[in-house]
Amino acid sequence: MIDIDKQNQIFHLSSPAFSYVLKVQDGQLFNLYWGAPLAHADLDYLLQSFSAGSSFALLTQRLPHELPSVGTGWYGEAALQAENAAGNHLTCLQYQDYRLLDEKPALQGLPHVHQSGAETLVLVLRDPLTGLEAELSYSIVGEGLARSMHLTNRGTEPLRITHMASATAVLYGRDFEMIHLRGAHARERQLVRTPLGQASYRIESQRGASGHEENPFLAAAAPETTEHSGSVWSMNFIYSGSFAASCQVNDSENTTMMIGLNPATHHWLLESGESFQTPEALLVYSQHGLNGMSHIYHHIYRHCLCKSPWNDRVRPILINNWEATYFNFDEDKILQIAQTAAQLGIELFVLDDGWFGARDDDHRSLGDWYVNTRKLPHGLRGIAEKVNALGLQFGLWFEPEMISPDSDLYRAHPDWCLHAPGRTRTEARHQLILDLTRPDVQDFIIQMLKDTLSSAPISYVKWDMNRNMTEAFSSYLPAERQMEVQHRYMLGLYHILEEITSAFPEILFESCSGGGGRFDAGMLYYMPQTWTSDNTDAIERLKIQYGTSLVYPAAAMGAHISASPNHQVGRLTSMQMRGDVALGGNFGFELDLSRLSDEDLTTAKAFVEKVKALRSITQNGEFTRLLSPFGSSNYAAWQFLYEDQLLLCCYRKLSEPNPCPPRVFLRGLDAAAYYTDEAGRSYSGSALMQAGLPLTFFPRRDFVSYVMLFTKKG
């Protein structure tokens, strides 16, 4: 897995999916190769191909630096930069030594991937002038490479770290297409693919959350790469706050990829003897196209990231009352919905926003986490036990990181929110953000959650976060540490999540941030699923779920049947279509069941039974994208393959005159075996993969779907 040539100072990290080769020369660390597996790593000759060319193109600028920094002749973006007390920001690190570990160390206070027996290479570099020491960690986990950096100030003067990327990598050439997941609230993770050319390409968040706008993921693909073939190099940041990821082409027309904390929002003051740990990045290379890349991410995140006991458990079918009632409910209304849910076979009722304080709208009471007895006269225990008596588990919504200016908590502690003295406290959704850099605020949230979750039989928590940072300033921290607020906030949040999820391991936690505004691997470490988007329209969800699956497994996505016409876009779709799309994630309902027609109730009940029969496949199966809903495509399709069963999910947006439907080509089957559908028709695996299945079974109307289950017969 990790081979070290001590004489030539070459480090070869490899798995069945990739090789990653580093070399030390003249005290500098260089990246010789990242790509398909190599038989050996004698790549010294590659460094000889670089030349300065002219006085304006220094050789050091063209060399493939593994940790590029300003002060070594490098003109590009720095992966590491530190300012000393004199204002000198030049950072010149020299290779010192290496360590080879039999296990991957945990990152204290940060989410990270883990795997027993994962070999780890630690390379030690040091700046002889300032004493800054950087330990670069490389761990082979599954078929991916986990990267992070640990910094220590070994000098006598304080240092301000202004750039601290978790991973960089060199790609040879510039003929790449960049792939990332762009969006906004209610249209998250739209797949964008565009040529890199000779420019620099950058995506980022400065909002204090990974964000609706960009996901912390960036890939570079060969132009010919498709879903099923070709090369792709990718990075995903295991972090939930502001980030930056970039690809930069230098004047030798080679490309450097980089991902890490955003230097526009993250600086860190490192006193003498102090250390700083960057969050982790996961690097994945695939020579089997985008689906090959996704399969690697999915496997690692399913088996080597999430630490919740619920990661491997069957997820319950739920009903959430938000779109059914919003804030306008009482105990009778909740029980009315719950009774219908029980009759349909639903397993979990989730009480959303509005159960606490004076919360009759979104203008007030965040922070006042005591029960509104006008709505729930018997308290949380009373409503939870009544829901339990119907045969359903009980779940609860929280937004613990927020505070309303119109709240008892704010009136008691106006200094507990993020704010800058003398400046306006900008409200979004009529709320402010609690200052999680403060230990007293962390302690308050932890105690409040422990008290509430212990007060009633609560089986599920929806953890929401409905705004981003505008004033990332803390009255708790001194002036010289204000650029640390965003990261210290995330460390505080991770501390809270560690405490609460460890204290209540039997509770299923779902992350939410106005829908998918914090859908990242950092949150998946603590919570095995995330509410994918506030947009529950089936047609829009085809793109949102398809794009999300580029990195994150279907088992991490919350997907619900909502009302028609849809509350976000006003579209009318059948319950069949809405349900078949929701099969692509953790299934639930987001509507007033008590107001459904008899026909829709029958369909809903059939879906509950269907999901119970299929969820072992959708939760545990290998997910493969088949037809993309993006661009001008009128169709979408994906499949789940689990043991001897394959679930094919196909969708068409609009009906067409004189149609010429495409074929869908299934993947991963046994070519010599036969697969039988639910109607009893048998197909050879080779036929389904090579000849395909024509999509001729859709009825003549808009917004239709078709789901087929195949069973391998030998």
Kindly list the catalytic residues: 464, 534
- Give the number of C-alpha atoms closer than 13 A to the C-alpha of residue 478, restricted to the C-beta side: 3
- What sign has the CA pseudo-torsion 492, 493, 495, 500? positive
- Give the number of C-alpha atoms closer than 13 A to the C-alpha of residue 551, restricted to the C-beta side: 29
Q: Where are the alpha helices (DSSP H) in 423-473?
A: 439-454
Q: Does residue 43 contact residue 33 with C-beta atoms inside 8 Å?
A: yes
DSSP state for residue 78 in the 8-state scheme: -
CA–chain centroid gap for 93, Å, is 32
Rounded to the nearest 10 degrees, how much is the dihedral formed by the CA atoms of 482, 486, 490, 492? 30
Q: Does residue 216 contact residue 259 with C-beta atoms inside 8 Å?
A: yes
Rounded-to-integer distance, Cα 145 and Cα 281, Å? 8
Nearest to 456 by CA among 381, 388, 506: 381
Q: Does residue 652 contact residue 683 with C-beta atoms inside 8 Å?
A: no
Cis bond leading into 694, ω under 30°?
no
Rounded-to-integer distance, Cα 575 and Cα 601, Å? 10
Nearest to 134 by CA among 157, 151, 120: 151
Place of tokens 């939760």: 619
Rounded-to-integer distance, Cα 271 and Cα 54, Å? 40
Per-residue burial over 250-277, b = 16 or more CB atoms within 10 Å of its CB, e = otherwise = bebebbbbbbbbbbebbbbbbeeeeebb
Rounded-to-integer distance, Cα 140 and Cα 233, Å? 16
- Sequence length of the chain is 714
* Counts of helices then strands in the chain (DSSP H, E): 14, 38
Who's near 654: CB < 8 A, 6+ residues apart? Answer: 634, 702, 703
Planar angle of CA 261, 265, 270, nearest 5 degrees:
75
As a whole number of angstroms, the longest Cα–Cα distance in the chain is 80
Rounded-to-integer distance, Cα 636 and Cα 34, Å? 33
Long-range contacts of 565-570 (CB under 8 A, 24+ apart): 566/536, 566/537, 566/538, 567/323, 567/536, 568/186, 568/534, 568/535, 568/536, 568/537, 568/540, 569/535, 569/537, 569/540
Report, in angstroms and rounded to the nearest whole number, the Rg of the chain calculated over CA atoms.
Answer: 26
Q: Does residue 516 contact residue 490 with C-beta atoms inside 8 Å?
A: no
At residue 311, what is the residue type? N
Strands (E), 70-197: 80-83, 94-101, 120-126, 132-141, 144-153, 159-171, 177-182, 190-195
